[in-house]
Amino acid sequence: MHEPVHLTRCDPLCNMARFYRLEIAPDLFGGAVLLRQWGRIGTEGQGRGDWYSEAGAARAACDGWIRRKCARGYQTGGE
């Protein structure tokens, strides 16, 4: 439905190595779920799923998260 987006933020001077992953998947009821996972690079991190009645709403929410994270210094990049 939507390719996963993997964002990273690294700053060796602050010992910062973070990731943020977003993916949209269909749910069983015709809607969509925005799966978010975050944490320190090299760990499983933690996650959350947000349900939406339409895929377009999930896509808009995903784009909003990407904008907010990029504004805070995250960059799109490798896994």
Q: Is residue 10 a part of any domain in this protein? A: yes
C-alpha distances (whole Å) from 8 to each of 15, 29, 34, 39, 72 are 13, 32, 18, 10, 11
CA distances from 61 to 39, 43, 68 (A): 20, 25, 11
Range of the domain at 23: 5-74
Q: pLDDT 10s digit of each residue in the chain, 79 long?
A: 568 999 999 999 999 999 999 999 999 999 999 999 999 999 999 999 999 999 999 999 999 999 999 999 999 975 5
The CA-to-CA distance between both ends of the chain, in Å, stands at 19
Per-residue pLDDT at 77: 75
pLDDT value at position 1? 55
pTM value?
0.87
* pLDDT value, residue 12: 93
CA gap 70, 46 in Å, rounded: 20
Residue 79 maps to a domain: no
- CA angle 6–54–7, rounded 5-degree value: 10
Residue 64 lies in a domain: yes
Predicted confidence at residue 3, as pLDDT, reads 86
